[in-house]
Amino acid sequence: MTDDSTLARTEELIVPADAAGIRLDTFLGRRQTEHSRTFFQQLIKDGKVLVNGEIAKRSHVLEGGEALRIQLPPPEDPWPQPQDLPIDILHEDDDIIVVNKAAGMVVHPAAGNPDGTLVNALLHHCPDLPGINGVKRPGLVHRLDRETSGAMVVAKNDRAMKMLSDQIRVRTMSRLYVALVLGEPGWTETTINAPIGRHETQRIKRAVNGAAPRDAVTHLRVLASAHGFALLRCQLETGRTHQIRVHCDHAGHTIAGDWLYGGAEERLLERLRKTPSPVRSAFAKLNRPFLHARVLRLRHPADNQWHTFVAPLPEELMRLLSTLFAPLDIDQLLAGVD
């Protein structure tokens, strides 16, 4: 007997008259909240959307009354599967795991990233996690962006999950980041208190005072500056999606390597034209935002005492700092974060 839940499914519909003048991919993206416009653009590109029986282009403009036939892929497995993936464990005991997440690793499965995530790796390492905090995000107390590296804590039991989540909620867990930004600030320390919501037109971005904004507070301190760049200590008071990236850009100092915000690629290239050759060569190897979760300080669920965990910077980021801020001692600079 065939399990229909594993099969592709087809939807058929007639385009309503009030959709006239709207692009096909835009119409499909607005009609469904389960999938994004990008998802439907790829579906159209793959020939999985027919308009009046003909393969459509994503730029097709609807007239109203067309018959659409949409072949959707099988639904993703709702339960993440264990995978033997490398993870850098900074600390583990009966209650928590603290990992140094690699840049490029997605934290949990989602549309477009059904596996290969930190959750898949954690389930292989710790099979008991599925009962903690639901199906999709077992053990997760907080998250990091895909391209952000650094310290994350994972709960191994319900008691630890509650205690750690409460620390996040009441803002007592300390999360300190190091970021390299464009420009040398005119201040030594500042606090950005600016609510963050979804970007009005770009789904993957966030913006200050965007749609449905929530309060967001980030404390910034300059650790060093040179050649038109600055190394910042960033302390989260709240934890909104892309918070440090959005707040740094809002302050006029976009994070180096963050191509999503502030036209950073063009601005970086312009700034590098004025720097020494070794600095330009070091930046040529930067293929991610220079943002790293350096320090995590929390009350341990076992004894309620403060514990501090430090995630070393990836080697490529250390090399860049050593070149940019030579002859300063980078380890001593980073001690200002700890």
pLDDT for the residue numbered 132: 79
pLDDT at 36: 66
What stretches in the chain show pLDDT beneath 50? 1-6
Is 152 in the same domain as 181? no
pLDDT at position 1? 32
DSSP state of 23: B
Q: What is the pTM of this model?
A: 0.77
Clarify whether residues 17 and 164 are in a common domain.
Answer: no
For strands 217-226 and 211-214, give the pairing: unpaired
Q: Are residues 225 and 307 in the same domain?
A: yes
Would you state the pLDDT for residue 41?
85
Q: Give the tens place of pLDDT for each residue, 298-318.
A: 999 999 999 999 999 999 999
Q: Domain count of the chain?
A: 3
Q: Are residues 61 and 29 in the same domain?
A: yes
Query: Is residue 77 domain-resident?
Result: no
- Model pLDDT for residues 132-184, shown as the tens digit of each residue: 776 678 899 999 999 999 999 999 999 999 999 999 999 999 999 999 999 99
Q: Give me the catalytic one of 145, 166, 329, 338.
A: 145
Measured between alpha carbons, how far is 198 from 33 in angstroms, rounded to an integer? 15
CA proximity to 235, closest of 164, 289, 171, 290: 171
CA dihedral 137, 157, 151, 127 (to 10 degrees): -60
Q: Are residues 37 and 105 in the same domain?
A: no
d(CA 186, CA 163): 39
- Domain hosting 196: range is 174-334
Residue 123 lies in a domain: yes
129 and 274 belong to one structural domain: no
Report the C-alpha dihedral over residues 310, 312, 314, 316, rounded to 10 degrees. 130
Domain match, 216 and 67 both: no
Would you tell me how many other CB atoms lie within 10 Å of the CB of residue 300? 17
Told to judge if 338 belongs to the known catalytic residues of this protein, a careful annotator would answer no
Which pLDDT belongs to residue 107? 93
Helix, strand or coil, per DSSP, at residue 220:
strand
